[in-house]
Chains A and B, each alone.
Chain A
Amino acid sequence: DTAVSQTPKYLVTQMGNDKSIKCEQNLGHDTMYWYKQDSKKFLKIMFSYNNKELIINETVPNRFSPKSPDKAHLNLHINSLELGDSAVYFCASSKPGQGYGYTFGSGTRLTVV
Chain B
Amino acid sequence: GQSLEQPSEVTAVEGAIVQINCTYQTSGFYGLSWYQQHDGGAPTFLSYNALDGLEETGRFSSFLSRSDSYGYLLLQELQMKDSASYFCAVRGLIPPNTGGFKTIFGAGTRLFVKA
Tell me the A residues contacting B by CB distance below 8 Å.
35, 40-45, 48, 50, 55-56, 90, 98-107
* Nearest opposing residue in chain A for B108, CB measure: A41
Among B30-38, B63-71, B73-81, the one that faces the other chain is B30-38
Which chain B residues border A41 with CB–CB below 8 Å?
A: 37, 85, 107-108
Pairs A–B under 8 Å by Cβ, sample size 5: A40-B107, A41-B107, A42-B105, A42-B108, A103-B45
Which chain B residues border A106 with CB–CB below 8 Å?
A: 41-42
Determine which residue in B31, B50, B105 has the highest number of CB atoms from chain A within 10 A of its CB, and name it: B105
In chain B, residues 21-39, which have Cβ atoms closer than 8 Å to a Cβ of chain A? 30-31, 33, 35, 37
B100 on interface, CB distance cutoff 8 Å: yes
A55–B107 CB distance below 8 A = no
B104 on interface, CB distance cutoff 8 Å: yes
* Nearest opposing residue in chain B for A104, CB measure: B42
Determine which residue in A40, A50, A103, A104 has the highest number of CB atoms from chain B within 10 A of its CB, and name it: A104
* Nearest opposing residue in chain A for B98, CB measure: A55
* Nearest opposing residue in chain B for A35, CB measure: B105
What separation, in Å, do the CA atoms of A102 and B105 have in the docked complex?
A: 12
What separation, in Å, do the CA atoms of A43 and B85 have in the docked complex?
A: 12
A45–B102 CB distance below 8 A = yes
B43–A45 CB distance below 8 A = no
In chain B, residues 48-74, which have Cβ atoms closer than 8 Å to a Cβ of chain A? 48, 50
B12 on interface, CB distance cutoff 8 Å: no
B103–A45 CB distance below 8 A = yes
Which chain A residues border B3 with CB–CB below 8 Å?
A: none
What separation, in Å, do the CA atoms of A90 and B45 have in the docked complex?
A: 14
B50–A102 CB distance below 8 A = no
Q: How far apart are A105's CB and chain B's nearest CB, in angstroms?
A: 6
